[in-house]
Every structure is written in C-alpha cells, then in structure tokens.
Amino acid sequence: MAQGTQDKPNVSFRRWAALLLLPVGVKAVAQQPAPTDGIATLSVKTQLVTVDVTVNDTNGHPVLDLGKADFAVRENGTPQRIRYFSPPSEHRMPSTGELVRSSADLNKIGGAPVSILVLDEINTPFTDMSMARGALERYLKTQPEILTEPTALFFVSNSKLDVIEDYTQNKAAIQAALKKHFPDYPWQLTANSGDMALLPRMSRTLGALVQIAEAARGIKGRKNVVWVGKGFPSIDVSQTPPDSLQVITDAIKRSTFALLESKVSLFTIDPSTLDPTPILDQESDSGMAAGDLNGTGLVFGGAIQFQSMAGATGGHAYAMNNFIDQEIASGVSDGANYYELGYSPTQVSDDPAKYRKIAISVTRPGTKVIARDGYFPSTTPAAAEKVAAAGEDLDQVKFDLSTAALSKLAYNGLAVTAQEKSAGQFTVSIAAEAIEWREAPQGHIAELSVLAVCFSAKDKPVCKGSSEHTASTTGDVAHLKSELTYKVAVDVPSSATRIRFVVRDVTSGKVGSADLKIR
C-alpha cells in the first residue's frame, strides 16, 4: 500500500489519485445516435439515483412503517419524483436461524445488509483504543446469541487491514476472536508532527476503506461499516499547500466513490470523549455538501475531516459520548433499518466536479432522517470510453491483486473457487455471470488476471505466480450461467501450508478470491 514520506509529503496521495477507481456515484445509461449530415440528432440520457434512508424517532428508535407518500426528495433544491421505493421489510434476512458462519454463506442472505465492525488501531491513542475495545465487548454482551445480521470484525493497523473474525451470526465466535486479538501500538501517532507528516495515516485509512469496498462488492445488500476509532487525522486547509490539498481531496472523493459503488455506508464512532476537534453536524448543511473547496464539500471548520465521509455515504458520525457501546448499537441499527428511494433527476449534469445536493424529508413529525447528502455525477460514457481506450493503469492492477492476495479478507466481487488436482497443479473457476464482457468482432470477450500466493504456517508469503487469461463467447452474455475454468501451475515449496488465488476482471476491476489448504 502506498506510503507517504516526510520529505515528499504528497507522494502517497498522488499514488492514490492514480490507483483508485474512476468516480461512480450514480448509474447513467446513454444512447447517442451517430450524427447524420443535415439531420439533427437526439441524445437521450437517463440517470437513476438511489438513496438509502434511515428514519428514527426522537429516542433513536427506527421508524419502520412509512410509505412512499411520506417521503419528499429534493436535488439542488428542486423537488424530485420518487420512482422507486423499498421499505425496510424488504431488506431482511430470509430466515431467523443461523444462516451465516463464514463469508462462504453470504450467498444465502439475498439482499439483506451486513455489518462490518472496524477497530482503528492506527489513528486512535492506546488509552482510547482500550476504551473502544471495552465498549465493543459490552455491546456484544447485549446482543442475542444468533446475531440479526451477519457481522464481521476487522482491524486496521500501521501495516494492514485484516480480519479478526469473518462474517458470522455467531456472537460467541466474535467474542472469542476479540478476546484473542492483541492490538497494534499506534506508533505513527507520535512518530512525526504537522499536517504533512499525517499523510501516511490518511493514506492507510483511505486504503482500508477502499479495500473493504472492493472485497464486499459481491454482497448484494447494504454493507454498513461501523468504524470505531478516530479515523484519518484532520487536515488544516490553511496550512496545506494547494497542490497537496488538491491531491488529498481527489483521493477522498475517489475513496467515497468506491464506497458508494459497492453500496457501503460509513458510521464513525470517535471513542475520545474529550477531543476538542469540532465534529460536523449532519443535521446542518455540511458534510460533503458543505464548504467551498472547489465545490467538493470536503471542508468543515477549516479542516478536512474523516467524519465528512460518513454523511457522503449515507452513514452518520457519532462523537462526544461516554456511552460508546450504545453508539456502536446505534450504528448497527441505523445501517440495518433503511428505506431505499430512487429518482431520476429533473436536471441532468455531466460535470464531475459539481456536487449535487440531496435533501430528504418525511411528513411525520418528531423524526430524524439519515441519508447521504449528495453525489458527484458519474463518469459519462464518452469519458469512460476514453479511459478504456487508453488501457488499464498497471499500478492499479498490481495494487488490486497484491492487496487482495496478501489479505485474509474474502473478496467476493467475483465468485471464485479453486481445487488442487495434484502437486502444484490447480484449477481456478469463475462464475461467468459476474464477469463484465465487452464486445468483440465475433461475440464478446473477457480478460482476467490471476495471482497465486503461497503462505507458510506463520502466514508468511513463500511463493507467488501470475497469469493472464482471455475468454470469448458468441452467446447471450446477459444470461450466462456457466463457469470459466483455467488450469494454473504453481511451484509450491514444502514450507507452504495454504495458497490463495485472486482473480481480477480487467474490464470492471471486480476482484474475487479463493483459499485452499495445501495437502
């Protein structure tokens, strides 16, 4: 993962600007006939903006019985017609039993949401970290033995984002894993001082969020990240050089796009009850829609703050509260109980730098609405074609593959399985329906990158190999149900005990992984 240095403070974020995916905030479908001499052409564009909305009463309890007519949506102050409405009852687990014991079971839950609890061990002082851990333990004690939603527990440290416990509904499994986990000491907190020295931590934090988004792209429902910790450090706008400031804001915007594309909402919980840093008030017109930094809305109180990403993704920022366990419970509840609204903007904009504000209200008095406060328009088809013609960024490919390969996170953007046929001989299969096929002179083709990494009993990488593959079909790619299977040979050393295969779709950037114990 990219790291910044003190003598070149913006290297880290220039790398992020190159590595993160193109902005995707809403889905756009365009049809543009070829121009004909002397005849006017018609360009038709349809945008569908979807927004997840949580509604609570004055006591913080979810309000679950609202109908479509109870909501009003405005974009840039203009009323919008709600074309799609889905109540919280449609985002529930299909059964009250224990369906999920690992990420392999997530295909059983349909469009139900999942919770991802993240312990921030890079930005949080050790004393606050201890307080946060205790609060998480108290929160878990109040939950049923079989959790309502599948829940995973991750941590981000000075060196990596990793798994404490995989997705499960077994509360005892999470409690046992948390008890065994020894937190990393946040040495970067005191290693340097000044805004420019904070960039490595900021880069690591954004990288963890993007990695979570990429790993969870295959989960159909909403992914609610409850981030327990301070998040990346605030950046003083007045003390930051303009070129570095632009790189930072671009990196945050691209990270936010990655979260939105994967349907991830961020709920931030700051365990420091005495922190004097002002936290943005999401009830006011702030967050991503506030401020005046080239219209990006990333500035609040003269500083770029981690909490602004919560409002931009439909989550919420909790802070200055002694009852951290209750804040964790609120974050999980707010993320799980949501309505989904969809509308087509009355005024379409292609300007990717122009932030479009969303305001959602309900007719019922005494309620509070939590929803993302706006979006940047998605990349236009013409821009996307230009990028595709230029070819993929090699650094991005290497970053996606190596990050996934060295992690224990299960990546499910692609459905990948692997089998060991004999010593050093494997087959890797990918579900064709998740692959993005592109047109070719005869049918459609897909391009896939495969990386294999072997690990020792101490989880040290001891071998790796990569290969490129192309598939073609003349059939209807919209209804493909088959698998693509490739033979992969790996020179496996005797010290290896497991092997991880990572597959990346070159066209879409989706990533899938499969892990095997080596016989």
Intrachain domains 11-23+52-338+347-375 and 392-517 with the same fold: no
385-407 in b/e burial notation, b at 16+ Cβ within 10 A? eeeeeeebeeeebebbbbbbbbb
Nearest-CA neighbor of 205 among 323, 101, 120? Answer: 120
Give long-range contacts, CB 8 A cutoff, 24+ apart: 381-386: 381/28, 381/30, 381/32, 383/22, 383/352, 384/22
Residue 305 has pLDDT above 70, yes or no: yes
Residue 467, classed as helix, strand or coil, is strand
Residue range 96-105: mean pLDDT, rounded: 88
> What is the helix (H) or strand (E) element at residue 426, kind and residue range?
strand 425-431
Nearest-CA neighbor of 150 among 412, 514, 429, 516? Answer: 412
For 131, 186, 323, 377, 503, the CA distances from 347, given in Å and listed in that order, are: 48, 47, 44, 11, 39
Inter-axis angle of helices 11-19 and 394-405, nearest 10: 90
| Straight-line distance from the first to the last Cα atom of the chain, in angstroms, rounded to the nearest whole number | 31
State whether the Cα torsion 362-366-371-375 is positive or negative. Answer: positive
DSSP 5-72: -SSSTTHHHHHHHHHSPPP-SSEEEEE-PPPBTTB----EEEEEEEEEEEEEETTS-B-----GGGEE
Contacts of 352 by beta carbon, 8 Å cutoff, 6+ apart: 23, 376, 377, 378, 379, 383
Residue 274 has pLDDT above 50, yes or no: no
For residue range 39-88, list pLDDT tens digits in order.
333 334 457 899 999 999 999 999 999 999 999 999 999 999 999 999 99
Task: Report which of residues 237 and 142 the model is more confident about.
Answer: 142
Sequence ranges of the domains in the chain: 11-23+52-338+347-375, 392-517
For 357, 373, 406, the CA distances from 76, given in Å and listed in that order, are: 5, 10, 43
Cβ–Cβ < 8 Å for 243, 10: yes
Q: What is the DSSP letter of 430?
A: E
pLDDT value at residue 300: 56
CATH among 3.10.310.30, 3.40.50.410, 3.40.50.1370, 3.40.50.2000 for 11-23+52-338+347-375 = 3.40.50.410
pLDDT value at residue 102: 94
As assigned by CATH, the class of the 392-517 domain is mainly beta
For residue range 27-46, list pLDDT tens digits in order.
333 333 333 333 333 334 45
Cβ–Cβ < 8 Å for 417, 429: yes
pLDDT value at residue 183: 85
For residue range 316-369, list pLDDT tens digits in order.
888 756 688 888 999 999 999 999 999 999 887 666 667 888 999 999 999 999
Residue 252 has pLDDT above 90, yes or no: no
Provide the pLDDT confidence category of residue 298 given band limits of 50, 70 and 90: low
pLDDT value at residue 291: 37
Residue 105 has pLDDT above 90, yes or no: yes
* Token code pair at residue 359: 């305001």
Cβ–Cβ < 8 Å for 310, 225: no
Could you tell me whether strands 303-304 and 299-300 are parallel, antiparallel, or unpaired per DSSP bridges? antiparallel
- CA 401 to chain CA centroid, Å, is 17
Percent of all residues in the chain with a pLDDT value above 70, rounded to a whole number? 78
Residue count of the chain, please give it: 519
Residue range 11-23: mean pLDDT, rounded: 39
Residue 167 has pLDDT above 50, yes or no: yes
Residue 487 has pLDDT above 80, yes or no: yes
Contacts of 95 by beta carbon, 8 Å cutoff, 6+ apart: none
Contacts of 107 by beta carbon, 8 Å cutoff, 6+ apart: none
pTM: 0.82
Cβ–Cβ < 8 Å for 171, 147: yes
Strand order in the sheet with 223-228: 161-170, 146-156, 114-120, 223-228, 264-269, 316-318
Residue 265 has pLDDT above 80, yes or no: yes
Q: What is the DSSP letter of 183?
A: P
Residue 288: phi and psi, rounded to 5, are: -65, -20
Provide the pLDDT confidence category of residue 264 given band limits of 50, 70 and 90: very high
> What is the helix (H) or strand (E) element at residue 420, kind and residue range?
strand 416-422
Output the average pLDDT for the chain: 80
For residue range 427-482, list pLDDT tens digits in order.
999 998 889 888 888 888 999 999 999 999 999 999 999 999 998 888 777 777 78
pLDDT value at residue 239: 77
Residue 302 has pLDDT above 60, yes or no: yes
Task: Report which of residues 351 and 112 the model is more confident about.
Answer: 112
Which residue type sits at 419?
Q
Per 3-state DSSP, the chain is made up of helix, strand and coil in percentages (nearest 5) of 30, 35, 40
